Every structure is written in structure tokens, then in C-alpha cells.
Amino acid sequence: MNKDAVLATLIGFAIGLFITGLLLVGPNITKALPKIKMPAITFSQSKQKPTVAPTAGATPPQFAVTIESPLAEAIENSADLLVSGVTEPGSTIVIAGSVDDTAIVVQDDGTYAGKITLTEGKNDIIVTSYRQTNQASQTVTVYYTPESL
């Protein structure tokens, strides 16, 4: 027999004995080891307060702005985008895009709509509502590609 074959056989036998020993004795050894506690990891979810219709004698709701269109992470194939939503009637809205900004006075029913121009790729649109000393903002991200979907 050749020396390499004998050496390979001995190495394989030694590795096999080592693995078998770990399988037979390993569980008993792990019981003797000190217990290690992993730190607790918790993920908190942002809790949005539901909007409630005002009732007589109730405190007024917090001043806020909502973007209804476009949806978050939307993919648009037109550079002109209509942004619309709801806020407090009589407010002034500023829609800020990456290319231009649009200022709008909110209608009596609290709705607003305005157009901005998108650049190719990712666009962060910030809608800010102003009323007297109050200010509220909301951001939505949309992607623009001139290719047809």
C-alpha cells in the first residue's frame, strides 16, 4: 500500500472518532457550561393615532396634512405629477419637489391638489400645510421613469 493512502485513512479515522466523540459526549459537556443569556431585542411599531370625527364639547383634532395621491413608492411614467390630499380648510399648502415648488390655498372642504415636475429616478415630495402659527408636513417618495410600464 502506498504511504499517501495509509496517511489519508488514518486522518479520516481520527476525524471520524473526533466527530463521534462530540456526538456522544457533547450534550453532557454543554450542560456543564455556564448559561449565556442573549439580550432581548424588541421592535416597536409606530402607533398612528386614528382620526376621530369631532363631537360637541370635544377638543379639536391636531393640525395635520394627508397625502392621498400619489401612493408611497409609486412608479410614475409622466414627469408631471398631480399631488392631492386633505388638510384643514383655509390653510396654505406648499408642495416641494426636486425640481419645483407649488403653493396652493386649500378649498373650503379641506382638499388640495397641485402639480409638480419629477426628475428621473427617486423623488421625495414634501407637502407642508400652514395655518396661522400651525405647520404640518408629510413626505411621500415616488419614482419616475420615462419608459412605459
pLDDT tens figures, 34-43? 777 777 766 6
Task: Record the cell numbers describing residue 52, joined without a space.
Answer: 376621530
In the CATH hierarchy, which fold is given to the domain comprising 65-144? Immunoglobulin-like (2.60.40)
**Domain edges within the chain:** 1-34, 65-144
- Which pTM was predicted? 0.55
User: Which residue type occupies 28?
Assistant: N
* β-pair type (121-131, 92-96): antiparallel
Show the cell assigned to 25: 459526549
Q: All 3 cell numbers of residue 9?
A: 485513512
- Residue 75: band (very low, low, confident or very high) from pLDDT cuts 50, 70, 90: confident
What pLDDT score does 61 carry?
59
Q: What is the pLDDT of residue 11?
A: 95
The half-sphere exposure of 92 on its side-chain side, counting CA atoms within 13 A, is 9
Task: Using the predicted structure, report yes or no on whether residue 57 has a pLDDT greater than 70.
Answer: no
- pLDDT score for 40: 72
Give the number of residues written for the chain. 149
Taking the alpha carbons at both ends of the chain, their separation in whole angstroms is 70
